[in-house]
A and B are shown apart, each in its own frame.
Chain A
Amino acid sequence: DGGITQSPKYLFRKEGQNVTLSCEQNLNHDAMYWYRQDPGQGLRLIYYSQIVNDFQKGDIAEGYSVSREKKESFPLTVTSAQKNPTAFYLCASSPGQGETQYFGPGTRLLVL
């Protein structure tokens, strides 16, 4: 079953805590992305990676960090520096530059 998986589906964060969202793809795509979705707004790009061991900041990278040690995996860490982390987080991948992006099922992050 090919596709993009994200886990967990729901995640709860306490004050001052770092949390990590998982994203895995078995589509053999080079590029991977993290977006944040808030009600009534378009998707906003947090980080993206064009290739293994390389990633760039998107439009709202502050308070987030990523790694890309394997082609299949692109985990996102929401750090305690992110003061408004409650949102729906979406991971996507594409074969390469300028090609269609396919999305995972999302992770909803809530703050306790």
Chain B
Amino acid sequence: GESVGLHLPTLSVQEGDNSIINCAYSNSASDYFIWYKQESGKGPQFIIDIRSNMDKRQGQRVTVLLNKTVKHLSLQIAATQPGDSAVYFCAENGNSGTYKYIFGTGTRLKVLA
């Protein structure tokens, strides 16, 4: 299948370990953030979101942390599985009141058996 990003940073983790993927966002006015997962040749899939009035949100096996002071977002995946192998990227809404999102370039997660 086609590669989403040929020169993306790569995180390699052992199956069963926890993964942490980081994202530095650009606009201090952003108040809504989304993490997406994209497998090769497919469209991005929503994983989890967080609003700026929170600093942590948990889903099934995933946790998003938001640090507004340093404009940093992270995605933690617990007990990483082979099916988690994909490109992960964050999105910020830039300026609430617009439809324009800003998307990161992504990190490739490789799960080692």
Contacts and interface: CB of A to CB of B under 8 A. Distances in A.
Contacts of B98: 97
Contacts of B43: 4, 6, 90, 103-106
Interface stretch (B4-12, B55-63, B76-84): B4-12
Nearest to B42: A105
A105 B6 CA distance: 19
Contacts, number: 66
Interface in B1-55: 2-8, 32, 34, 36, 41-46, 49
Interface residues of A, number: 30
Contact of A48 (B7, B91, B99, B103): B99
Contacts of B104: 42
Nearest to A44: B103
B74 interface: no
Nearest to B44: A103
Given A39-B7, A90-B44, 15 more contacts: A31-B99, A33-B99, A35-B103, A37-B4, A40-B6, A88-B4, A97-B97, A98-B93, A98-B96, A100-B34, A100-B49, A103-B36, A103-B43, A104-B43, A106-B42
28 contacts: A4-B43, A6-B43, A31-B99, A39-B3, A39-B7, A40-B5, A41-B5, A42-B102, A42-B103, A42-B104, A42-B105, A42-B106, A43-B103, A45-B100, A48-B100, A56-B99, A58-B100, A88-B4, A98-B32, A98-B93, A98-B97, A98-B99, A100-B34, A101-B34, A101-B91, A103-B36, A106-B42, A108-B2
